[in-house]
Amino acid sequence: MVGLAEKHRVVIVGGGFGGLYAAKELGRAPVEVTLIDKRNFHLFQPLLYQVATGTLSPADISSPLRGILSSNKNTKVLMDEVTDIDPLQKKVKLQSSEVDYDTLIVATGVSHHYFGNEHWKPTAPGLKTVEDALEMRRRIFVAFEAAEKEPDPEKRQSWLTFVIVGGGPTGVELAGAIAELSFNTLKQDFRNIDTREARILLLEGLDRILPPYPPDLSEKAAQSLSELGVTIRTKTLVTNIANHVVTAKQGDQVEEIPAQTILWAAGVKASAMGKVLEQQVGATLDRVGRVVVEPDLSIAHQPDIFVIGDLAVYTHQDGKPLPGVAPVAMQEGQYVARLVCERIKGQSLPPFRYTDTGSMAVIGQNKAVANLGQVKFSGATAWFIWIFAHIYYLIEFDNKLIVMLQWGWNYFTRNRGARLITGEGSLVQVDVDENGNYAVPGSQSPVEV
């Protein structure tokens, strides 16, 4: 290990797509890499909705960071949380220690945004972590169990109403999966209720779902969802969520929707590192706290600090910020890693450019939309492209083969084997709260996996 200390030290904060791809790219470079993450695993977030709806298990879409990087002998993984940085001393401060850097790459991503209504969170959880997904799974399956036991028809309908707020890819995928659960998977399983009476509402503030996609694909997606039994409300704003009633406003019309299960897929805000970078190095933040970056993904006047992935706002390609999707983060991670290597040799790279590999959303069995730039697909073709693209990118995962077989199995049996109700509040018991409303126990308690 002689001479290690003299090597250029790269510290990467965050083991998502951006951080992981930067670390992988640096694996054979003459640098010393430290990857810091709060969790011990990388999560394949685009498939999180499949955990939330009982198709896959958390481990199917997660892979231990140490395992992925174990053959990179220049790389150290630290399971810890960054509390601050010191740009003068070039130190990253952790909960229990500090780490020196020559180059710092920040890739800590984003979390949910309730647009000033953080108190909606316990009733309408979002989907960013494994714990979030298991909490959604618990609520969805508890809702059917509670409906089965509920004698009052009005309350029963409230248990069988699922409101998804936000018509982006996550909202569309959740709505489609819950519709398939209700109308196919579970239809034989209950004796007192008909799960086909479930009402699945997808609310979107803009004039169409999947707003970043071309209008005709949005139209195709809306049609597929309707066929599956999802009710779509566009130009609809959620003005209140209280006592398991969603208040939705479409133009002048206000509707109150009693729903026990409300899922949030509407907005993102920057992780805490954005604020740290603003305070310590004067980084410019956007409206939701993301960091505005230079053409080489560094922070202005801080050539040794880079921000990549969902936390970065990159507008140097066509004026519009790049979307917060996995391929952008991966390409940014690889770019910064290569730039670091060039700089060590005294050279540089031209500005970052994102190569759009297309975007896709799955709606249900055999139903998806895919926008590959020149070509657009919908229906079964898009669905198969989606499956293969996701399996291709699960490349880090031991479980790629297993996940593929699991999907194959689910495809032919239309089954969902992971529909477990687990955790503290897993025994269905309908309590009446102080307002005379009934509530699922544990639903507001801290969630664990």
- Is there binding between residue 414 and its own copies (CB under 8 A)? no
Residues 68 and 42: their CA atoms lie apart, in Å, by 9
Q: Which two structure tokens, joined as six digits, stand for 327?
A: 């391929």
Q: How many residues of this chain bind its own copies (CB under 8 A)?
A: 65
Q: What is the DSSP string of 98-139?
A: EEE-SEEEE---EEE--TT-GGGTTTS---SSHHHHHHHHHH
* 420 is an interface residue for its own copies by CB under 8 A: yes
Q: With contact defined as beta carbons under 8 Å apart, do 297 and 311 qualify?
A: no
Least Å from the CB of residue 449 to its own copies: 3
- The dihedral through the CA atoms of 124, 125, 127, 128 has a sign that is positive
Beta bridge partners of 236: 250
Nearer to its own copies, 117 or 422 (CB): 422
Annotated catalytic residue, options 173, 204, 332, 396: 173
Single out the residue of 7, 8, 27, 59 in contact with its own copies (rule: CB under 8 A): 59
Q: Is 387 in the site for its own copies (CB under 8 A)?
A: no
Stretch in the footprint of its own copies (CB under 8 A) among 22-30, 172-180, 271-279, 424-432: 424-432
**In the set 188, 347, 348, 374, which binds its own copies (CB under 8 A)?**
188
**Minimum distance from CB of 207 to its own copies (Å)?**
39
String marking each residue 145-174 x if it binds its own copies according to CB under 8 A: x--xx-------------------------
447 contacts its own copies (rule: CB under 8 A): yes
Query: Which of 365, 415, 437, 444: binder of its own copies (CB under 8 A)?
Result: 415
Which has the closest alpha carbon to 348: 417, 297, 414?
297
- Whether 173 sits among the annotated catalytic residues: the reply is yes
Long-range pairs, 66-71, Cβ under 8 A, ≥24: 66/40, 67/398, 68/20, 68/24, 68/42, 68/396, 69/23, 69/24, 69/27, 69/35, 71/27
Under the binding rule (CB under 8 A), the answer on residue 100 touching its own copies is no
Longest dimension (CA), the chain: 74
Residues 26/101, Cβ–Cβ less than 8 Å: no
Task: Tell me which residues in 125-144 interact with its own copies (CB under 8 A).
Answer: 130-131, 134, 141
Q: How far is residue 417's CA from residue 385's CA, in Å, rounded to a whole number?
A: 24
CB of 347 to its own copies, least distance (A): 30
* Residues found near its own copies in the complex (CB under 8 A): 38-41, 57-60, 62-64, 66-67, 70-71, 76-81, 95-97, 130-131, 134, 141, 145, 148-149, 186, 188-191, 397-399, 401-402, 405-406, 409, 413, 415, 417-430, 442, 446-449
The residues annotated as belonging to the active site are: 173
